[in-house]
Structure 1
Amino acid sequence: MQMFQARRHALGVWSVPAVMVAALCSRGASAVDFASDVQPILEQQCLSCHNGEDADSGYDLSTRAAVFDDDYGEPLVAPGKPDESPLFTTMNASADADELMPPADAGGPLDKQSIETIRVWIADGAQWPNGVTLRPRAKPVDRSATPDNRQLLEEIHAKIVNTAAESAGGEMADYRGEIPRTGVPYEMKAIPAGTFPMGSPADEANRQANEGPQTEVGVGAFWMGAREVSWDEYEPFMISSIERRKNGARKDYDPAKHTAVDAVSAPTAPYMEMSFGMGQSGYPAISMTQHAANKYCQWLSAQTGHFYRLPTEAEWEYACRAGATTAYSFGDDPARLGEHAWFYDNSNEKYQKVGMKKPNPWGLYDMHGNVSEWTADQYAADYFAQISGQAENPFLKPTTLYPRSVRGGSWYDDPEQLRSAYRTGSDPIWKQQDPQLPKSIWYHTDAQWLGFRIVRPRRLPTVDEMDAFWNSAANLIK
Structure 2
Amino acid sequence: MIRTLKVSAQLLSYLSIACWSVTAVAAKVDFEKEIAPILEMNCVSCHSGDEPEADFNLTTKELTMDSGSGEGLVPGDPDSSSIYTLAILERTDDMLMPPLRTGGPLTKPQTELLRAWIAEGADWPASRTLVAKPKPPGLFVSVDDFELVLKIHKKIVEQAEKEAGEPKDYQNKIPATQVDYRMVAVPGGEFLMGSPDGEELRHDDEGPQTKVEVDPFWIGKYEVTWDEYEPFMITQVDRRKDGGRIDYDGAKHTMVDAVSQPTPPYTEMSFGMGQRGYPAISMTQHAANKYCQWLSAQTGHFYRLPTEAEWEYACRAGTNTAYSFGDDPELLKQYAWFYDNANEKYQKVGLKKPNPWGLHDMHGNVMEWTADQYVPDYFKKLAELGKNPYVKPTTLYARTARGGGWDDDPDRLRSAARRGSDASWKIQDPQLPKSVWYHTNATQLGFRIVRPVEIPSPEEMYFYWNSARDVY
> Where on the TM-score scale, by shorter chain, does this alignment land: which range?
0.7 to 0.9
AA at the equivalent of 2:324: S
AA at the equivalent of 1:287: S
Residue 161 of structure 1: aligned partner: 157
Query: Secondary structure, in 3 states, of the residue corresponding to 1:145?
Result: coil
Query: Secondary structure, in 3 states, of the residue corresponding to 1:185?
Result: strand
Contact kept in structure 1, 2:282 and 2:445, CA below 8 Å:
yes
- TM-score, with structure 2 as normaliser: 0.75
Structure 2 residue 211 is the aligned partner of structure 1 residue 216: yes
How do residues 158-307 of structure 1 correspond to structure 2 at under 5 angstroms? 158-168=154-164, 170-307=165-302
Query: Secondary structure, in 3 states, of the residue corresponding to 2:232?
Result: helix
Which structure's residues are more often helix, by fraction?
Answer: 2
AA at the equivalent of 1:159: K
| CA offset digits 1:346-404 (Å, max 9, x no partner) | 00000000000000000000000000000011111111122221131011111111111
In 1, distance between residues paired with 2:312 and 2:326?
Answer: 15
Between Structure 1 and Structure 2, whose CA radius of gyration is higher? 2
Structure 2 residue 349 is the aligned partner of structure 1 residue 334: no
Residue 14 of structure 1: aligned partner: 29
In 2, distance between residues paired with 1:421 and 1:298?
Answer: 28
AA at the equivalent of 1:364: L
Residue 379 of structure 2: aligned partner: 384
The offset of 1:96, in angstroms, is 4.1
The offset of 1:107, in angstroms, is 7.1
Residue 69 of structure 1: aligned partner: none
Residue 447 of structure 2: aligned partner: 452
| CA offset digits 1:49-105 (Å, max 9, x no partner) | 8xxxxxx969xxxxxxxxxxxxx9xxxxxxxxxxxxxxxxxxxx997499xxxx957
Pick which of 381-390 and 287-296 moved more: 381-390
Contact kept in structure 2, 1:341 and 1:357, CA below 8 Å:
yes
Residue 318 of structure 2: aligned partner: 323
The offset of 1:158, in angstroms, is 0.3
The offset of 1:159, in angstroms, is 0.2
Contact kept in structure 2, 1:232 and 1:282, CA below 8 Å:
yes
In 2, distance between residues paired with 1:139 and 1:214?
Answer: 43
Contact kept in structure 1, 2:234 and 2:262, CA below 8 Å:
yes
The offset of 1:139, in angstroms, is 6.4
| CA offset digits 1:145-190 (Å, max 9, x no partner) | 111011100000000000001111x211100000001100000000
The offset of 1:269, in angstroms, is 0.7
User: Cα–Cα, structure 1 residues 387 and 94, in superposed 2: closer, same or farther, change >3 Å?
Assistant: farther
Residue 149 of structure 1: aligned partner: 145
Match of 2:353 among 349, 358, 361: 358
| CA offset digits 1:113-137 (Å, max 9, x no partner) | xx9xxxxxxxxxxxxxxxxxxxx99
Contact kept in structure 2, 1:216 and 1:391, CA below 8 Å:
no
AA at the equivalent of 1:278: M
In 1, distance between residues paired with 2:444 and 2:248?
Answer: 34
In 1, distance between residues paired with 2:190 and 2:28?
Answer: 65
In 2, distance between residues paired with 1:402 and 1:236?
Answer: 27
Q: How many residues align?
A: 384
Contact kept in structure 2, 1:172 and 1:190, CA below 8 Å:
yes
The offset of 1:138, in angstroms, is 8.0
Structure 2: which 5+ residue stretches go unaligned? 1-26, 51-59, 61-80, 87-96, 114-131
AA at the equivalent of 2:407: Y
User: Cα–Cα, structure 1 residues 202 and 179, in superposed 2: closer, same or farther, change >3 Å?
Assistant: same
In 1, distance between residues paired with 2:308 and 2:229?
Answer: 22
Query: Secondary structure, in 3 states, of the residue corresponding to 2:401?
Result: strand
Match of 1:461 among 445, 456, 464: 456
Contact kept in structure 2, 1:139 and 1:475, CA below 8 Å:
no
User: Cα–Cα, structure 1 residues 325 and 139, in superposed 2: closer, same or farther, change >3 Å?
Assistant: farther
The offset of 1:240, in angstroms, is 1.6
Query: Secondary structure, in 3 states, of the residue corresponding to 1:389?
Result: helix
Query: Secondary structure, in 3 states, of the residue corresponding to 1:195?
Result: strand
Query: Secondary structure, in 3 states, of the residue corresponding to 2:383?
Result: coil
Contact kept in structure 2, 1:200 and 1:421, CA below 8 Å:
yes
Contact kept in structure 2, 1:267 and 1:292, CA below 8 Å:
yes
In 2, distance between residues paired with 1:176 and 1:303?
Answer: 15
Contact kept in structure 2, 1:246 and 1:268, CA below 8 Å:
yes
Contact kept in structure 2, 1:249 and 1:265, CA below 8 Å:
yes
In 1, distance between residues paired with 2:192 and 2:83?
Answer: 57
AA at the equivalent of 1:183: Q
User: Cα–Cα, structure 1 residues 387 and 97, in superposed 2: closer, same or farther, change >3 Å?
Assistant: farther
AA at the equivalent of 1:150: F
In 2, distance between residues paired with 1:95 and 1:397?
Answer: 43
AA at the equivalent of 2:376: A
In 1, distance between residues paired with 2:201 and 2:134?
Answer: 36
Contact kept in structure 1, 2:371 and 2:464, CA below 8 Å:
yes
The offset of 1:336, in angstroms, is 0.3
Contact kept in structure 2, 1:372 and 1:450, CA below 8 Å:
yes
User: Cα–Cα, structure 1 residues 140 and 380, in superposed 2: closer, same or farther, change >3 Å?
Assistant: farther
- TM-score, with structure 1 as normaliser: 0.74
Residue 7 of structure 1: aligned partner: none
User: Cα–Cα, structure 1 residues 231 and 411, in superposed 2: closer, same or farther, change >3 Å?
Assistant: same
Instruction: Give the aligned CA root-mean-square deviation in angstroms.
Output: 3.3
User: Cα–Cα, structure 1 residues 107 and 195, in superposed 2: closer, same or farther, change >3 Å?
Assistant: same
